[in-house]
Every structure is written in structure tokens, then in C-alpha cells.
Structure 1
Amino acid sequence: MKFFKKRPYILFILPGLILYTIFSVYPMIDSIRYSFYEWSGIGPMKFIGLQNYYKLLVDPRTSTMFLSAFMNNMKYIFWTLLIITPIQVLFAYLIYTKIRGYKIFQMLILMPWVIGNVITSFFFMMMFNGQIGLINNILQTLHLQKFQQDWFGNPKYSFIVLIIAVTWSGVGYGMILFVANMRDISESIIEAALVDGAGALKRFTSIILPLMWPSITNVIVLDTIWGLTVFDLPYMIAGANGGATGSLDFMSTFFFRYAFGNSLNGDAAFGFGAAVSVVMFVMILSVTVIQSKLLKKLEI
């Protein structure tokens, strides 16, 4: 009781923490329980043991689709980290150094992030539409008809277009975090570097970049989690089936397809979807923990 008398605020915080823990843990426990059943979400449940996991990980038809979706997630993470994170750092540095017109530049970069993925997907579907799209119209105007494509219908290009859309819409949030981190760097450190004759590039690579590594680490981990759970843009662009030959099929769209319709039996397979969610949770947890430990070792 002395503990609570000295810290009365805990009496107000504790119930919220308990409720938050219950509501966070309970759905996961329920998903594990449902994964052992054959169930459409309505009506009686039939216990089938590990059959849902067998269908997901061993059965040739579903395991191949799930592996393909997982590889698309990995490709998505690879390209977003390779492209978006460096662009975020570069744009943040340009705003931090207050280049001419940096406020307008910042607004333009943030705008796609602010408008949301629903509008972004609509823009890109109109731009890359095979019949009336802006890109094909420009190619026709330039007499480059041989380069015209059904961009989302061609598996060679659909993933590239998705990455372009993600890059356009996703640069803003990380850039803001990096700008805030750069502004927290002590001015005395920068001034000392200037006195020592360090140029802009030297200051960036030797001082600013190492000091902002913790925030870069956080953004990389968050991007990885979002990459493993990406759903909205692929779904709105290609639908639940993942587009042409599954080129835009991800683990989340695979889960949605089976948990809420179009399952093995033509109806929603809620139990199978629960097994997918459990496997996804284990994969996401494992990848993020390993990644966090590896990135932590690189911190100064």
C-alpha cells in the first residue's frame, strides 16, 4: 500500500494497462484456438488439429501461393528500404539545411502521405491505366507506342508501379522524423566541425548521419513491419486475388482472401485464416526481433 500512496497516479494508469493487455493478448490467443478448427465464421466448429497449418505450409496448392506472397513481401521490403529510406534521409537533410523554397518542398513531399493510400491508389490506377492512362497517352504523344503497356495487367511491370506508388506516398513520414532528429543535434558540434573546416558532405557523413542512426534504425524496423503487413495499396490496385499471376499478392491479401471469402471450399475459411494470422505473427515477430538486434549492434 505504501507503494501506491507514494505513487497514486498508478491507480489510474493500472486499470488501463490491464485492459490494454487483455485486449492485445486475447485476440492472438483466440486466433491460435481457431486455427485448430474448420470453421467458416458461422455455425458449428469442427476440430481438425494441425490440418490448417498443413494446408498452409505443406499442401502444394496453398503453400506455393503463400510462399509466393511471402516473397512479394520480401521484395517489397527490399525495394522500399533500398529506395525510400535513402530518399527520406536526403530530403530531410535538404530541409534541415533550409534550401531555397524548402517550406514549399516540404509541403509537396508531405502531401501524398497526408492524402492517404486510397486516393494514391486511385491516382496511380488512372495514370497507369492501359486504355486511358496518362503514361500511355504521353508515350503515344511522343510516338513511343511500342512502350505502351497494360501496366497493372503485365506482371513484369505491376510490381514496379506499386513500388513507385509506395515511394511517392511514403517518403513524407520518415522524412519528418529525420528532420526532427537532425534539429536535435547540438549546434556546438556542427560549429566545431565548421571551425575544423569540414564541408557540407563531411558534416553529413561524419556527424549528422552517425548521430541520427537510432532514428534510422527505428524507421527501418517500422518499414519492415509495414512491409510484412502491407495490404491497402496492393488490394486497392490489384484486388484480393493479387492481380496478374499473383504479382501483387501479399501475405495480408492471401489472409483476406481465405479468411473472408474465396477459400478452398468457396466460402470463408475462418479457421484457415486464423492459421495464416498465427504464422504471420510468428514471422513478423522473428524478423523484427532479429533485425532490431542486428541494427542495434551498428549503433554508435
Structure 2
Amino acid sequence: MSIFRAAAIQMRSGTDTQANVATLERLVGEAAAQGAHYVQTPEMTGAVQRNREGLAAALRDEENDLIVKAASGLSAKHGIYLHIGSTAIAVGGGKIANRAFLFGPDGKKIVSYDKIHMFDVDLDNGESWRESAVYAAGNDTVLADLPFGRMGFAICYDIRFPQLFRAQAEAGASVLTAPAAFTRQTGEAHWHVLQRARAIENGAFVISAAQGGLHEDGRETYGHSLIVSPWGEILAEADHDEPAVIVADIDTSESAAARRKVPNLKNARLFGLLRIAESQGDMKKENIASS
């Protein structure tokens, strides 16, 4: 089985996890009704919450987390593979993991993944983010063998680190994932090109469900959930920031076909940085002025 129908759910998660569970149930039901075999939700499905005290008050461990329990039930109810893009999980010692989950049609967890790269940035519009001050970074890439192919897992800011996706592709992944909560500023500038680049350079499908719109905590996210082909074509897009479900039929054999056309994975060579050359002598002032 190489053909399956994928769905990406776009959300606008608030600070109330119970309300987000209700939205999750509704949108997963819509995706299943459209025939989806695999359904992905965005980063921070459980809550988009900037306030640390509010986040801490709602935290639970994996066994008792409301999103985890709901996802297990929904995957079994609809007989689907349900990928929670991520939710905040208490992992002990005051630490929090930004953790993704994949559940099978029997409702059992197949795999989980902790976000590796922390979004520690200062943007031009005054936004400043320090995920590393709140979350414990993961250390390992994760893949899962599913009936339709091998899938690699990542979350949001991970998309800017191509070496992660290259490692997954070299390990045989034909489907890559990057569910996200991209800020509006970075999304408008980079979202589409990053998704398409990861697909093209690895000859793999990329599925990325996104958060979108103005959230209760004041954060604004870009939306535009995407499903991209190994050739870089956009197969489905929520071309806005409202809650939505997008679907696309995927044939993972197209990944192998793309890699045959442009075999960059096979043609890659190891190389070293030998030296940095320095010019000898000073440039004349008039040359600098005329350049």
C-alpha cells in the first residue's frame, strides 16, 4: 500500500485545553469524513499559552494529558493514524517537553518525538522568543514505518535545519512532517519556501499542519497549512489563517521516482573544510568606492 489520503488540520488553539479538545474532535471528524487515513494537527494543539504560570497550571504528564487521551480515542473511533503535531508535556524535574505523538487505528501510541531545535530569536517587529527557557530540547530524530511508507517527525523551527530532514531521507523516509505555529512575520517571509525546499532537496512529501490567526494569549500565527509533493508542488493549502481541514491523496512511490530523476541523495559526497583563503594586500580606496 503506497497510496493514502493525508489531512492537515489548521487550528487556532487557545489557552483552554478542554476547548481545544472539542475543536480537535470536530476537525478530526471532518478529516475522517473526507476519507483521510492519516490526520495531522499543528504544534501546540493542546494550548497556545505564553504565560508560564498559566502553562504550568495546565500541565500534565503523558499518561494523564487531555490531548493524548483524546487523540487515542479519536484514532480508534475513526480507524485512522492521528498525528498530534505537538503538545506540552510535563516530564518531571520541572521540565516540559514540546512533544509530538502518532497514534494508530487501534488507538495505541506508535511513537513520540520531542522537538530538538528551540526557537530562541529576536525579530524585527519586537517579538522575542526563548523556548529554551521553558522547554527541554529533544536529542533524537524519530521515524515510523507505516503501511504506506516511512515517516519522519519534526516540529516547527526544526524546518530550518535541513540536516535533520536529510538524515531522515537517507534513512528511507518518503514522508516528512513539520507541524508548526509559525509567527506571522516569519511565516510571510519563509514558510512556503522552507516547506518546498525540504521536499525538493529530499525527494519527499512534506506535510505541515499549522496554527493560524490571533490567539487568546496575544500571539499571532501564520496558518497556511501545506501538503507538498517530492517535486515541490503544493498539493493542498489552507491559504488563510482560519481553522480548516485540507486533504491530498499521496502516492509514496512518487518519492522514489523523484529521487531517480534527481539522485542527489545518492550523489552526495562527504567533504571537509580545508582552509579559508585570505587575499594578500590592501584594496585601494578608489576600487572600493567604484565597486
- TM-score computed with the length of structure 2 as normaliser: 0.22
- Structure with the largest fraction of strand: 2
- Structure with the largest fraction of helix: 1
Point out which structure has higher relative CO (alpha carbons under 8 A, 6+ apart).
1
- TM-score computed with the length of structure 1 as normaliser: 0.21
